[in-house]
Amino acid sequence: MIIVTGGAGFIGSNLVQQLNRAGERNILVVDNLAPSPNLSGPKFLNLAGAEYADYMDKREFRAALKSGDFEGARVRAILHQGACSNTLEDDGRYMMDNNFTYSKELLHFALEHKIPFVYASTAAVYGASTEFKEVPANERPLNVYGYSKLVFDNYLRRLLPEIKSTVVGLRYFNVYGPREQHKGRMASVIHHFTRQLKDTGTIRMFEGSGGYDNGEQRRDFVFVKDLAHINMFFGGLLPDSPRKPVHAIVNAGTGEARTFKAVAEGLMQVHGPGRIEYIPFPGDLKSRYQHYTQADISGLRAAGYAAPFTVLKEGVRQTFAEEPVV
């Protein structure tokens, strides 16, 4: 059995679909399908067409772990995508329980049973930094989401010298792709730009801020299917997966930043002509916004992952071939 937490979410559901394409069906999907004011639609639609053996609510899953219900289960890998990724969430107690304590529970279960454990960290741990190498000096989160993820990364760091089985943290950069229509304001820049272009013919982006001119803010955009492949690689689920345990916290991005303006112009090449309009920068984002991200992927390569990344134009084409915007 393969456990995918957050399996109905954006990244988790794409991971389930990619596991299916690799012939995997014995999958336990864990998620919370309760309605949330932060969502713009139901998550369950992301699992349409997916094949998996079982589903558990997150609360029931945590209780089952604590009560020993999974003792004796043959778990091949835990791919932990479950988290609250809302960068505007201010409830620190909720964020720490969801992103830190829950992750600790899964980690210790995996370590006890020597199960490969691959989990979603985030580039938000770097926050105000302009250097994106996986070292503490660069880690300056701007919001409680990034902080909660960093606390777990640091917890793992203290354990790494003693760990015998695979444990890999993946610091996701700016992810885009199919199955993010439910994310509302937290959907990717690419999703928002495409929706605007199709609906109005105008792409609206924040005016220059943080020392950057209009449209010159830069992000490292990574295709969600590439992240699914990385999870499967370190989870020991691919023919070329590492034969020896891997212990690492690494960046998961392409290593190439693109300006928002260049992304908008690329979308117009795919979807048709339009115009760009610059809008005032939202006040509630000013103190927690990353104007620039670009992954240093030397750690990812050193950990053994050598596959190329999907170029942006091809990722956009695949996204909207699979999930057309009408």
**CA separation for the pair 240, 244 (Å, rounded):** 12
Catalytic residue among 149, 183, 225, 261: 183
Q: From residue 21, give the alpha-carbon distance in Å to each of 136, 218, 228.
A: 37, 33, 11
Instruction: Determine whether 183 is an active site residue.
Output: yes
Instruction: Determine whether 145 is an active site residue.
Output: yes
The residue count of the chain comes to 326
Catalytic residue among 126, 145, 147, 289: 145
What DSSP line would sit under 33-86, residue for residue? -S--TT-SS-GGGGGTT---SEEEEHHHHHHHHHHTTTTT----EEEE------
* Residues designated catalytic: 145, 183
